[in-house]
Amino acid sequence: MAPSSSPSSRPAARAALPGDKLAFRLGLAATLAVAAFLIGPVVLSVLAGLTSNYFVGLSSGLTLRWVAQVWDLYASTIWRSLLVAAMTLAVCLLAGVPAAWALTLKRGRVARAFEELLTLPVAVPGLATALALIVSWGTAGGLRGSVMFIVIGHVLFTLPFMVRSAAASMAMGGLAALDEAAATLGAARLHRFLHIVVPNAAPGILTGALTVLTLSVGEFNLTWLLHTPLTQTLPVGLADSYASMRLEVASAYTLVFLLMLMPLLLGLQWLAARATGERRASPKDSP
């Protein structure tokens, strides 16, 4: 029979409550301070893009004139950025997921050397990578003035994130053993990859896709050196608007940037959460 708590221990427990409340309040205050520090500038920038005159403030009235002006001047950069991000994601999926599976199966010096080489564009400054691309491929046909030149730079920068995310999911899921078991039953390599590896590694693949899209849409360093006046993307247009337009126009451009990016982020996060939930529930549902 478990001994009952003595009355003398209850006041000590009650005395600990004020300390817990203090710790909770301090944590809440720190969280709110960090949130205000991160979100506050974004909110102020959005408000600046919706006010008639930023220097007068909200008393000058709210308007969508600056947003309409941004759309008239820079609509092509928005669609081009989405196109570049979609093409970058497609290449990263087609190249990164098989590469992640190969690195999961083959662990050795060659695999480690390839992995280190793959992450090199992330460690090197974006301007240096862009200069290397211009020197190497800048004179190859019409590549220098095409969107594909920017896509190549974005793939070099974002592919390591796709490979790392997918490889981590594959390693944690024990897919190598499942693949070997399916191989002993006569399943073809491509069939095993598409029906065993990809579905079980879907959370990591979707996380990598989210990272690739986010980085591609917002990438500036590489793009600033690789773009031409006819291949300007959204971040480059944003910098141009801040340099040559009124502050209200530049802030409205930031608002358009957020409106284009947030649905992508929320949609991919929902897909990743759903894939993770299905993966956790599948062992319970199996007989």
Question: What are the two backbone dihedrals, phi and then psi, of residue 107, each rounded to the nearest 5 degrees?
Answer: -100, 120
pLDDT at residue 3 greater than cutoff 60? no
Please state which of the ranges 8-12, 148-152, 197-201, 249-253 shows the lowest mean pLDDT.
8-12
- Predicted confidence at residue 65, as pLDDT, reads 81
| Residue 192 host element (H or E) | helix 189-192
In 3-state terms, what secondary structure has residue 134?
Answer: helix
Average of per-residue pLDDT values in the chain: 79
**Domains of the chain, first to last:** 20-58 (no CATH), 76-281 (1.10.3720.10)
Average pLDDT value for residue range 12-40? 72
- Predicted confidence at residue 191, as pLDDT, reads 86
pTM of the model: 0.74
pLDDT at residue 286 greater than cutoff 50? no
**For residues 273 and 206, is the Cβ–Cβ distance under 8 A?**
no
> What's the pLDDT tens digit per position in 61-74?
778 888 888 888 77
> What's the pLDDT tens digit per position in 41-54?
777 777 777 887 77
Q: Which residue in the block uniquely carries the two structure tokens 């929320």?
A: 266
Please state which of the ranges 103-107, 187-191, 239-243 shows the lowest mean pLDDT.
239-243
Q: What span, in angstroms and rounded, lies between the C-alpha atoms of 17 and 29?
A: 18
For 50, residues 6+ apart whose C-beta sits below 8 A from its C-beta are: 62, 63, 64, 66, 67, 252, 255
Which tokens sit at 38? Answer: 């991160």
